[in-house]
Amino acid sequence: MASLTIDKLTKSFGVVDVLKGIDLEIEDGGFLVLVGPSGCGKSTLLNCIAGLEKISSGEVRIGDRNVEGLHPSKRDIAMVFQSYALYPNMTVRGNISFGMEIRGIDKAEREKAIEEVADILQIGELLDRKPSQLSGGQRQRVAMGRALVRHPQVFLFDEPLSNLDAKLRVDMRTEIKRLHQRMGTTIVYVTHDQIEALTLATKIAVLEAGYLQQFGTPDEIYNDPANMFVADFMGSPSMNLIDGMLDQGQEGLEVRIKGHGGSEIALPAPDTAAMRERLGKPVVFGIRPEAMTDPDGADRTSPRIETRDCYIEVSQPAGSDTFALTPLGGKECIARFRADAKIQLGSFSPISFNMTKAVFFDPETTLRIR
């Protein structure tokens, strides 16, 4: 087990810069999730850590060791690929023992290690089958077994669950989490699924267009996003980003937001120096759907609940909740009501805003105003 440090890492393919100065650090036994939309460079970053891609500049350190120029097999890592990459001509047993065989570990010891891993992952009865005779979930387990048997310093997972169906994905997610708690090995995990990121990680790195957008705990990423991209990307349904004007109200600063027709609502804004600078200018008011509720569903522990009448256009019952769509700042905003809340479509209903959860962004730089 070891910590992992990435220092000013850049990577270009020819003239295309894929990663533009990434700084990350994950402590020993941590679970780092790299998340971002397709093409953001997250898989490239993982390949750079593995040594499958040469980095253009910067440094990768596993433990205290700079792994520059080190062959993938010498970095003390194990990787689980998106396609599982099981050797089709070998049995499950052969797949798991291949690495040990190459390293010249004797047969008795190999058998012992295989038994041990098969036990942990419950694949004992599959050992003599070929990969083509396994289901998706079983292949996933074998791929993990092949990684586990190496007892590496760092595990690398490249979108390991994206080929599984929805239910199996949830099961395997739990299993990976359990495995991490049990083994305590450092893990780097790539995904484009923000739910996976939030549930698994101890630290999340959000990447976009080759830049690190934010690096923090799941709680920081979710509740304290650094910019509009992170706010929009993490969470489902995603955060409402509402255009408004910052104004001086009777009781301090307030943000004015256009609603349905000619109506307007005003909500109090925090009175900080940075906010004062934006006085009289447009701001983006960000609030998560679960912080916009029917008054009875509002979080009673929150000291700052503001209730305003908003025009409800559409409601979408989703079993546990009902989502209400209301036009604010020229966009459809989603509010999360209790499932049995009474909703009058096509009329103004009170919506409670939990202002402790509200965040503000600068519409030009898209950065957070604190």
Partner 1 sequence: MSIPSQDNAIQSGRLMRALIYTLLIFFVLYYLLPLWVMVSNSLKTLDEIHGGDMLAPPRAITFEPWKAAWSTTQVGVEATGLRPYFLNSILMVVPAVLISTFLGALNGYVLTKWSFRGANLVFGLMLLACFIPFQIVLIPMARILGMLGLAGTIPGLVMVHTVYGLGFTTLFFRNYYAAFPTELVRAAQIDGASFFQVFWRILVPSSGPIFVVTIIWQFTNVWNDFLFGASFSSYDSTPITVALNNLVNSSTGVKEYNVHFAGAILAALPTLVVYIVSGRYFVRGLMAGAVKG
Contacting positions for partner 1 (CB under 8 A): 50, 52, 71-73, 77-79, 81-83, 85, 87-89, 98-99, 102-103, 146
Q: Which is nearer to partner 1, 145 or 286 (CB)?
A: 145
Positive or negative, the CA dihedral 31, 231, 191, 168 is positive
Q: Which is nearer to partner 1, 93 or 278 (CB)?
A: 93
Q: What are phi and psi of 120, to 5 degrees?
A: -60, -45
Token readout for 35 is: 């998340």
Whether the CB-CB separation of 368 and 327 falls below 8 Å is answered with no
Q: Which is nearer to partner 1, 77 or 179 (CB)?
A: 77
Identify the H or E element spanning 127. none
Q: Which is nearer to partner 1, 33 or 49 (CB)?
A: 49
Q: What one-letter code names the amino acid at 243?
A: D
Residue 111 contacts by C-beta under 8 Å, 6 or more apart in sequence? none
Q: Which is nearer to partner 1, 13 or 313 (CB)?
A: 13
Dihedral angle of Cα 302, 308, 314, 319, to the nearest 10 degrees: 20
Residue 261 contacts by C-beta under 8 Å, 6 or more apart in sequence? 311
Whether the CB-CB separation of 174 and 94 falls below 8 Å is answered with no
Q: Which is nearer to partner 1, 44 or 227 (CB)?
A: 44
Whether the CB-CB separation of 33 and 196 falls below 8 Å is answered with yes
CB of 98 to partner 1, least distance (A): 5
CB of 212 to partner 1, least distance (A): 25
Q: Which is nearer to partner 1, 130 or 258 (CB)?
A: 130
- Provide the edge-to-edge strand list for the sheet that holds 252-258: 264-268, 252-258, 240-249, 282-287, 359-361, 368-369
